[in-house]
Chains A and B, each alone.
Chain A
Amino acid sequence: MTPVIELQQLEKYYGSTHILKGIDLSVSAGQVIGYIGPNGAGKSTTIKILIGLIPDFLGQASVLGMDVRKDALEIKRRIGYVPELASLYDSLTPLEYLQFIGKLHKLDPAMVERRTMDLLRLFNLEGNASDRMTTFSKGMRQKVLLISGLFHNPDVVFLDEPLSGLDANAVVLVKEIIRQLADSGKTIFYSSHIMDVVERISDRIVIINQGQIIANGSFEELKELRTSGSLEQLFTQLTGNDEQASIAGAFVQTINQ
């Protein structure tokens, strides 16, 4: 079976900064991939390359067997993307916004309207369907973004910090949606800072640091690398920041002076 996502020696420079230093990764269908790393490690850059937003990179990248450089349009048709830092046209209403995205995907407007209303209802937003999003809270915007990334039934979904701003119930709901999407054969590429969520929903965890993969495997496999108990502890050990306890000590001491 051909892998759904395949990266070979992926490198990327921004000016003179070397953001990605050779990423090799292969993901098969129906998996939830937790893609984690400290700020500036290159997580968002990897995702942007995979969805065809950044065409100038070195190495090979393919999604659903198609080359990202050559078939970006066909790939975009079959993937969904939920960006971090909710950027959306907030002077539109959710209905207007989703209809616009639907048109760009060339979906049937009647179907889009029906599906949008159903999804908004499931997210408890049907009362706000015709309100402009300027007044929306971060969680409400995030829900609209989730719908816009999923409502065209993509085969691969890229989620960049998808739980930000959501309340506890919505987090449970979205986690369950991710699980069931994966069970139905879709591939989820999930990037986040919230370790215990990643630990729980990922079939495979990929940790990158300074543009390189430093760990790749199921949580059980990763645990064998170190003796620590949780992904969070493992993460801080692997990304070279195990002095957190001593820094915390110095912090408290400074306050007490």
Chain B
Amino acid sequence: MQGLLLMILSWMRPLFRRLGADPDQVEAIVALKITLDNRRTYTAFGQQQHKQKDRSNSFWLMLLLYAFMGSFGCVVLIGVYNQAPIYALSFSFAIPMLLIGMALISDFSSVLLDSSDNAIILPCPVNGRTLLIARITHICLYLLLMSMAASIASAVVIAIRFGIGYSLLYTVFMLLSALLIIFLTSLLYLLLMRFTSEEKLREAIMYVQIIVAIFFYAGYQVLPRMISATDNLIQLSVQWWHYLLPPVWFGGAMEAFLTPVFDPLHLSLLALAVLTPFVGLWVTVSYLTPLYNQRIASIDVDARPQHSGTIQPETASRSDQLAQWFTGSPLEAAGFALTWRIMLRDRQFKLRAYPSIGYMIVLFFMFVWRTGGSLDDGDIGTSFASVLPLYFCTLLLGNAISLLRYSDQHKAAWVFVSTPLEEPGQVMLGAVKAAIIQLLLPVQVVVSAYVLYVGGIKSLDDVLLTTFVNISIAFLYAIGNGYFLPFSSPVGEMTKGANVARTLVIMMMVAVLGAMHWGLSKLPYGVWAGIPVMAGIAYVLLLRIRNADREKFTVS
């Protein structure tokens, strides 16, 4: 594969020379970039978790994933084309465009924002033009391969149905749409860079990465079901505002050729589809790139810490305030405040923890969608179903709690060893409490509100009981994976195997508790009776953590 790319590059040598770049150096830089791409981890895999030994094919694997995701577009194309061709075609453009756009923002941002190019390559005898051409070539190759991967399924469908010529036309439109996406993304980047600092920009990118991960997950969950529902779904008429969406331009342009129909509407869509990418390209090259390079160059300078004058104690005291409310000793408060702050600030922690929160939200909506309004009528069995979402919170928490022990800066945990820490259990309890309150509580409140809304005030007992169940499960997760001090283990140790077994055991306990909950709901006031028992269990578990032996804690 890499050989093939390099062959393509060698055909382009005269072009490079014409553009004023040095072909040998362009080739060397692009080859280097491809190697680096293949050794990077991609957000789309959700793989930050565990650094595998040496990845050397991750880029090709990612292309496969994109081909798979793109194939959803072709399913819609097959299913819906007869009823609403423009809708089907637009959809088949929309998916690859979305994929490319998000990939550009999330994974490629590290490449675009990489100032190490400047530090490493520019001190060598390479002129700025060569580096620029190499960068553009690399980005184009990357996008070319990705848009090809994401649209290959649809292209094949079109080839079978309308012939190979139309398939080629489709591919041309696909490439045009990729060009348009580059323009739109660089516009977005420049806006972000214009109005925020580099640190904020990285923060914004992190959230995009999290959304990408959730989007992929939701895609897996929702799309297959949507397709089974498409038969009766498609009464869609095209609204006027649909013409503002870029995928519809391409869908319309393609429809014009396939039908064929060349009325003013389709001609204008075709014009938009063909012209906007080139206008965008021209604007990008002549206006945005210089601006962009200027900003990149100044990133190194911006990165220098600047004295912001006054230190702001407000946020600091807020975590301390919360720690005071929810903890019983200074040591516990220290663990709470540390964990609370790191969970809010550590980008890597967020990248690991937030997607799974998003997954839970997706699962929750799937549940609500599929059960629909059938919850509140009928016998007690279905009304119990309305309680089930409350147990989703547990799934969410399990992952977050097991993440509490890991950090990229685990070495900083030497402070736990160098200080005369007599009761590390209190630090751990503080940490677990911080996670419960920061991550579980909001979700629990929202889901409880939903359950109370659906089930009425008579569901209050269920809500209270599950609250204590979830808290107990949180403690169980904390104990089950071994006593720990917050953020003290290297991320690399995050081995799945051992934890899976424990997690399964805990999940089974959740199931048992759920079954008992269901049993109690059959008895009058049964659930109310269960509440103090569950609260008692939670308290016992809390004590076990707080009073755990010093010897049980290890700091690597």
Contacts and interface: CB of A to CB of B under 8 A. Distances in A.
B393 to A, nearest CB: 37
B127 interface: yes
A48 B298 CA distance: 14
Interface residues of A, number: 25
A91 B36 CA distance: 7
A46 to B, nearest CB: 14
A97 B108 CA distance: 21
Contacts of B121: 104
Interface string B17-54: 00000001100110010011001100000000000001
Contacts of A103: 24-25, 28
Nearest to B126: A104
A151 to B, nearest CB: 12
B408 to A, nearest CB: 13
B228 to A, nearest CB: 43
A104 B125 contact: yes
A232 interface: no
Give the most central of B32, B39, B116, B123: most A CB within 10 Å: B123
Given A77-B125, A96-B35, A91 B40 contact: yes
A174 interface: no
A144 to B, nearest CB: 12
B36 A101 contact: no
B54 A100 contact: no
Given A14-B301, A91-B39, A91-B40, A51 B123 contact: yes
Interface stretch (A81-89, A115-123, A193-201, A237-245): A81-89
B60 to A, nearest CB: 16
B236 interface: no
Given A87-B119, A89-B116, A91-B39, A100 B28 contact: yes
B344 interface: no
Interface in A91-110: 91-92, 96, 100-101, 103-106
B24 to A, nearest CB: 7
Contacts of A91: 35-36, 39-40
B118 interface: yes
Interface in B450-474: none
B123 A83 contact: yes
Contact of A104 (B25, B40, B54, B118): B25
A89 B24 contact: no
B127 A87 contact: no
B119 A83 contact: yes
Contacts of A76: 123-126
A104 B28 contact: yes
A81 B124 CA distance: 9
Contacts of B415: none
Nearest to B121: A104
A73 interface: yes
A92 B54 CA distance: 11
B120 interface: yes
A132 interface: yes
B54 A132 contact: yes
Interface in A101-156: 101, 103-106, 132
Nearest to A101: B124
A153 to B, nearest CB: 14
A88 B124 contact: no
Given A14-B301, A103-B24, A103-B28, A89 B36 contact: yes
Interface residues of B, number: 23
Contacts of B25: 103-104, 106
A53 interface: yes
B24 A105 contact: no
Given A103-B25, A106-B24, A92 B123 contact: no
B122 interface: yes
B124 A105 contact: yes
B125 A105 contact: yes
A83 B123 CA distance: 9
A101 B119 CA distance: 12
Interface in B114-144: 116, 118-127
A87 B116 contact: yes
A77 B123 CA distance: 9
B301 to A, nearest CB: 5
A83 B120 CA distance: 9
Contacts of A81: 123
A77 B24 CA distance: 15
A89 B120 contact: yes
A111 B143 CA distance: 36
A14 to B, nearest CB: 5
Nearest to A44: B300
A100 B32 contact: yes
Nearest to B115: A87
Nearest to B118: A53
Interface in A36-84: 51-53, 72-74, 76-77, 81, 83
Nearest to A14: B301
Contacts of A51: 123
A52 B122 CA distance: 8
Contact of A53 (B24, B123, B298, B301): B123
Interface string B170-207: 00000000000000000000000000000000000000
B439 to A, nearest CB: 31
A87 B122 contact: no
A5 to B, nearest CB: 16
Contacts of B35: 91-92, 96
Nearest to A158: B123
Interface string B271-310: 0000000000000000000000000001001000000000
B294 to A, nearest CB: 10
Nearest to A54: B297
Given A73-B125, A105-B125, A106-B24, A88 B120 contact: yes
A53 B122 contact: yes
Contacts of B24: 103, 106
Contacts of A53: 118, 122-123
Contacts of A96: 35
Contacts of A15: 301
A81 B298 CA distance: 21
A104 B130 CA distance: 11
17 contacts: A14-B298, A52-B122, A52-B123, A53-B118, A72-B127, A73-B126, A87-B120, A91-B36, A91-B39, A92-B35, A96-B35, A100-B28, A103-B25, A104-B29, A104-B125, A105-B124, A106-B24
Given A89-B120, A91-B40, A104-B125, 5 more contacts: A15-B301, A81-B123, A92-B36, A104-B126, A132-B54
Interface of A: 14-15, 51-53, 72-74, 76-77, 81, 83, 87-89, 91-92, 96, 100-101, 103-106, 132
The 9 closest A-B pairs by CB, nearest first: A103-B28, A104-B124, A91-B39, A76-B125, A77-B125, A81-B123, A87-B119, A87-B116, A73-B125
Interface of B: 24-25, 28-29, 32, 35-36, 39-40, 54, 116, 118-127, 298, 301
